[in-house]
C-alpha cells in the first residue's frame, strides 16, 4: 500500500468537524478504496478551546491557516473557512505555491479568482478540487468536468440555494409571509443573521458563474450575471402562481446563445407538474442540457455538515487515488490558459414568457390601457385576468395578472415603464419569468 496522504484542514466549523469525524470513522474503508491511508496531520481554526465533538489531540494545531499552508507537513490543503479574501485567499495561494493539492468548498473565492488559482495549480502540477462549492453533495462539478466530456452543453440551470428554496416552500405550503419564513429559517440555522447574500441571489450567482465556466469553456464572470433575489416575492405572487399551475423557485440559468453566454439569477415560475417544481425545502437541483446525453437532472442535499463533507471527502479521495505524473483533469474543465473571454449575451427572447402582477386603482379603462401598453411594445398576451377580493375591494383597488407569450426582456421593461407612467398604479409591478423545462 502506498504511503499515507497527509492532509491539513483549515476551518473547523460544521463542515470541517464533520470531515474530521468521517475520516476517523471510515479510515479503514478509505484506505482500501483509495489504495493508501488518509491521515489528518494538521488543522487550523480561530478558537483552539472550542469543543467540536472530535478528538484533535494527536493533530498539529496552527492558529493561522496561512502558516499551516506555508509550513505544515501535508500533501493536501483543505480550505473550509469561506470568504473571497483574507485568510482563505492567502492560504490557498500559499498552498498552491508549494505545489500542494487543494480542496475547497469556497464558491466566493472561486467566483472571484478561480482562473488565477487554476493557472497556479496547473503550473505546479497540483490538483484543485471544489465539488462542495456548488450544490453541496450533488456531484455536478465532476459531471461537467469529467463525465460529460465530448458533450456540447446548451443550458445549465437549477435551484442552488437551500435558504431561498426553504423560504419559498414554506410560503406556498403554509401561506406565511416572506418575513415570517425568513425568521424561521434563521431560527433553524438555514439563514444567517444577515441573510442578504442568500436571499438577494449572490450565493446562487457565485455557483452559477462556476458552472458556466465548466459548461461553456469561458472565463469566470460572476459580475456579468443578471441578478434578482426573492425578497420582493409576496404571498400574493405565490398564490397567483398556484392558480395558474406554477410554483415559484429561485433559479440560476446559464445558456449559450448566438451573441454570447446569458447568465441570470431570479425568481422563476415553473410548471407545477415539472420535476424541478417538486424540489422542496433546503434541497438543491441542477439540470444540464447537452447534445449527446440530452437532459440530466441531479437532485440532493445542497448544504449541511454531512452533505458538504461528503463532497469534500470525494475530492480528497480522488487525490488519494491519483498518481504522480498522471494526466491531470484541468481545474475548470479546459486548461485555464485556453478559456475563452466571456461575452455577455443580450437577454434574448424568453421562451417561457412572463408573469406580471399589477395592483391598480379600480377605475374604468385601466384594463384596456394595460392591454394597449403591452400591444404597443409587441407583447402578445396568453391571458389577462383582473380580480378584486377582500381588502383590495374595500380599498378601491384590484389586481391585474398578465401572462405573456415569448417576448424580449427589453419589451417587457418598456411596457412596464409605460404602465408605471400612468396614474392608476397602487403598488410596484411584479415581473417574474416563466421557465418551461424541456424534460423536467
Answer for the pair 440, 275: CB distance below 8 angstroms, yes or no. Answer: yes
Kindly list the catalytic residues: 207
Please give the pLDDT value at position 125.
94
pLDDT reported for residue 56: 94
Q: What is the pLDDT of residues 395-424, one digit of tens each?
A: 688 999 999 999 988 899 999 999 999 999
Q: Is the pLDDT of residue 393 over 80?
A: no
Lowest mean pLDDT among 122-126, 192-196, 340-344: 192-196
Residue for cell digits 440555494? 161
**Full-model pTM:** 0.93
Rounded distance, CA 165 to CA 303, Å?
12
351 pLDDT above the threshold of 80: no
Q: What is the pLDDT of residue 92?
A: 98
- 258 or 123, higher pLDDT: 123
| Confidence grade of residue 7 (pLDDT, cut at 50, 70, 90) | very high
Average pLDDT value for residue range 317-327: 87
Which residues neighbour 344 within 8 Å (Cβ) at sequence distance 6 or greater?
A: 221, 224, 260, 261, 262, 263
The CA-based angle 153-223-168, given to 5 degrees, is 75
**Cα end-to-end span (Å), the chain:** 45
Three-state SS annotation for 98-166: CCCEEEECCHHHHHHHHHHHHHHHHHHCCCEECHHHCCCCCCHHHHHHHHCCCCCEEEEEEECCHHHHH
Residue 185's H or E segment, with its range, is: helix 178-187
118: its cell numbers: 487554476
d(CA 407, CA 414) in angstroms, rounded, equals 12
Assign a CATH topology to domain 145-301. Dihydrodipicolinate Reductase; domain 2 (3.30.360)
pLDDT tens-digit profile of 158-174? Answer: 999 999 999 999 999 99
Where residue 347 falls among pLDDT bands split at 50, 70, 90?
low
Alpha-carbon distance 287 to 285, whole Å?
7
Going from N- to C-terminal start, the domains of the chain cover: 5-140+305-338, 145-301, 354-434
Query: Model confidence over 132-143: pLDDT tens digits?
Result: 999 988 999 999
Nearest to 261 by CA among 339, 334, 201: 339
Assess contact for 139 and 298: CB atoms under 8 A. Answer: yes
Percent of the chain residues past pLDDT 90, beyond the cut:
84
Q: How confident is the model at residue 193 (pLDDT cuts 50, 70, 90)?
A: confident
pLDDT of residue 349: 61
Rounded Cα distance, 61 and 148, in Å: 40
For 5-140+305-338, CATH number? Answer: 3.40.50.720
Per-residue pLDDT at 392: 53
Give me the pLDDT at residue 440, please. 61
pLDDT at position 385 is 87
The CATH architecture annotation of domain 354-434 reads 2-Layer Sandwich (3.30)
Q: How many CB atoms lie within 10 A of CB 301?
A: 19
Higher pLDDT, 303 or 125: 125
pLDDT at 2 over 90: no
The pLDDT, as a whole number, for residue 348 is: 62
Cell of 329: 483533469
Amino acid at each position: 500500500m502506498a504511503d499515507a496522504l497527509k492532509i491539513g484542514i483549515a476551518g473547523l466549523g460544521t463542515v470541517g468537524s464533520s470531515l474530521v469525524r468521517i475520516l476517523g470513522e471510515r479510515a479503514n474503508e478509505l484506505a482500501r478504496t483509495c489504495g493508501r491511508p488518509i491521515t489528518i496531520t494538521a488543522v487550523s481554526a480561530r478558537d483552539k478551546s472550542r469543543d467540536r465533538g472530535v478528538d484533535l489531540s494527536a493533530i498539529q494545531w496552527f492558529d493561522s491557516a496561512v502558516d499551516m499552508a506555508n509550513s505544515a507537513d501535508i500533501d493536501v490543503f483543505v480550505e473550509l473557512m469561506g470568504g473571497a479574501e483574507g485568510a482563505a485567499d492567502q492560504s490557498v495561494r500559499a498552498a498552491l505555491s508549494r505545489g500542494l493539492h487543494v480542496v475547497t468548498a469556497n464558491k466566493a473565492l472561486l467566483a472571484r479568482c478561480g482562473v488565477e488559482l487554476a493557472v497556479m495549480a496547473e503550473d505546479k502540477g497540483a490538483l484543485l478540487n471544489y465539488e462542495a462549492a456548488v450544490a453541496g453533495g450533488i456531484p455536478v462539478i465532476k459531471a461537467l468536468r469529467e463525465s460529460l466530456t465530448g458533450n456540447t452543453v446548451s443550458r445549465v440551470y437549477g435551484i442552488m440555494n437551500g435558504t431561498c428554496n426553504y423560504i419559498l416552500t414554506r410560503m406556498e405550503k403554509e401561506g406565511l409571509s416572506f418575513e415570517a419564513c425568513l425568521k424561521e429559517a434563521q431560527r433553524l440555522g438555514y439563514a444567517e443573521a444577515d441573510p442578504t447574500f442568500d436571499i438577494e441571489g449572490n450565493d446562487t450567482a457565485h455557483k452559477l458563474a462556476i458552472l458556466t465556466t465548466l459548461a461553456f469553456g469561458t472565463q469566470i464572470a460572476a459580475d456579468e450575471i443578471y441578478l434578482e433575489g426573492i425578497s420582493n416575492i409576496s404571498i400574493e405572487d405565490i398564490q397567483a402562481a398556484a392558480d395558474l399551475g406554477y410554483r415559484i423557485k429561485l433559479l440560476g440559468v446559464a445558456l449559450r446563445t448566438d451573441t454570447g453566454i446569458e447568465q441570470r439569477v431570479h425568481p422563476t415560475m415553473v410548471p407545477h407538474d415539472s420535476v424541478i417544481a417538486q424540489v422542496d425545502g433546503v434541497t438543491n437541483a441542477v439540470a444540464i442540457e447537452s447534445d449527446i446525453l440530452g437532459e440530466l437532472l441531479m437532485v440532493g442535499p445542497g448544504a449541511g455538515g454531512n452533505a458538504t463533507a461528503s463532497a469534500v471527502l470525494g475530492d480528497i479521495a480522488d487525490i488519494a487515488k491519483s498518481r504522480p505524473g498522471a494526466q491531470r483533469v484541468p481545474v475548470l474543465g479546459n486548461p485555464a490558459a485556453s478559456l475563452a473571454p466571456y461575452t455577455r449575451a443580450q437577454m434574448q427572447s424568453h421562451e417561457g414568457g412572463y408573469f406580471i402582477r399589477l395592483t391598480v386603482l379600480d377605475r374604468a379603462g385601466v384594463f384596456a390601457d394595460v392591454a394597449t401598453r403591452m400591444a404597443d411594445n409587441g407583447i402578445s398576451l396568453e391571458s389577462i385576468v383582473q380580480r378584486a377580493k377582500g381588502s383590495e375591494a374595500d380599498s378601491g383597488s384590484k389586481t391585474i395578472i398578465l401572462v405573456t407569450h415569448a417576448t424580449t426582456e427589453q419589451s417587457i421593461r418598456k411596457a412596464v415603464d409605460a404602465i408605471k407612467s400612468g396614474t392608476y398604479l397602487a403598488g410596484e409591478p411584479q415581473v417574474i419569468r416563466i421557465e418551461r423545462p424541456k424534460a423536467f
